[in-house]
Amino acid sequence: MDIFLLKLVATPTLILLASLAGRRWGESVSGWLIGLPLTSGPVCFFLAVEQGTGFAARSTLGSLAGAAAEAGFCLAYGIAARRGRWPVALAAGSAAFALGAAILAIAALPRPALVAVIAAALTTSLSLLPNFASGTAALPAPPRWDLPARMAVATGLVLGLTELAPYVGPQLSGLFATYPAFAAVLTAFAHARSGPAAAVRVLRGLMLGLFSFAAFFVVLGLTIEPLAIGTAFAAASAVALAIQGVSLWAMRRPRSRRR
């Protein structure tokens, strides 16, 4: 299949499946699902095919730095949501992501140090994320254009990033791919319709899902050059899905205790 056609088919399909599953099981699960590398994973795959495995391996460092910056997005959004409406909270989260991404891009940490930073950022942000008293009501039905818009944005992001990659370099390509565009949409939508508690549920699920995101890019960065592209992506996906299962158990455990 032509690479451009594959981008047009694979990316919106992944986002569609994740969005439908999130609607079925609630805000936390939707955030948990988008913690998977549904956008940055395809971006890295296309970079490997078009720019070579060495380029893709270096781009995984940017993706790992972006995961740490996403933790800053979640924490800043949650804190701002205490008093502000969703535009204010979204601006605060985006500013925190940009600041964290800029610092990590300048620091250019090696892979082991990035893993330590991600672990510290996610665990700290999870512990500091505000808790809001709320009911358990589900989100109202979204408008008809919601799913097509998500699919279009995802596809445009993948196409844009892979086209810009030769000009911005591998690490910035990986870093740009991690801006939580879908988390921003889901969180703001939940905040506007159901209040800050619903938004924080999305963010908490996202941060739990980011552990598997980080594992995916650690494995991929270590294996994509010595192994074939398909083998490396299969190994990274298997590890990520295993950790994603553990994070789902951790996310649902408090609910089981309450029962």
* Mean of pLDDT over the chain: 82
28-53 mean pLDDT: 82
Which of 85 and 153 is assigned the larger pLDDT? 85
Closest CA relative to residue 251, chosen from 30, 55, 57: 30
Residue 59's CB is within 10 A of a number of other CB atoms, namely 31
pLDDT score of 21: 72
Measured at the alpha carbon of residue 215, what is the angle toward residues 211 and 220, in degrees to the nearest 5? Answer: 150
Q: Which range has the top average pLDDT, 151-160, 176-185, 204-213, 244-253?
A: 204-213
pLDDT at 172 over 70: no
Average pLDDT over residues 60-74: 91
Q: Name the more confident of 27 and 91.
A: 91
Task: Please report the pLDDT score of residue 177 as a whole number.
Answer: 64
pLDDT in the model for residue 259: 46
Q: Is residue 95 scored above 90 in pLDDT?
A: yes
Q: What local confidence, expressed as pLDDT, does residue 160 receive?
A: 75
Q: What is the pLDDT of residue 258?
A: 46
Q: Name the phi and psi angles at 110, rounded to 5.
A: -70, 165
For the segment 15-33, the average pLDDT, to the nearest whole number, is 75
Q: What does the domain layout of the chain look like in residue ranges?
A: 3-7+26-131+144-254
Q: How far apart are CA 73 and CA 98, in angstroms?
A: 9
Count how many residues are written for the chain. Answer: 259
Contacts of 93 (CB under 8 A, 6+ apart): 72, 73, 74, 76, 77, 80, 184, 187
The answer to whether residue 202 scores a pLDDT higher than 60 is yes
Pick from 90, 66, 58, 44: nearest CA to 176: 66
Cβ-based neighbours of 157, under 8 Å, separated by 6 or more: 39, 43, 177, 181
Element (H, E) at 249: helix 229-258
Q: What is the pTM of this model?
A: 0.78
Q: Give the pLDDT confidence score for residue 3 in this predicted structure.
A: 61
Using CB atoms within 10 A of its CB, is residue 145 exposed (0-12), middle (13-18) or buried (19+)? Answer: exposed
Contacts of 67 (CB under 8 A, 6+ apart): 118, 121, 122, 178, 210, 213, 214, 217
User: Encoding tokens for residue 152?
Assistant: 């279009």
Q: What is the pLDDT of residue 63?
A: 86
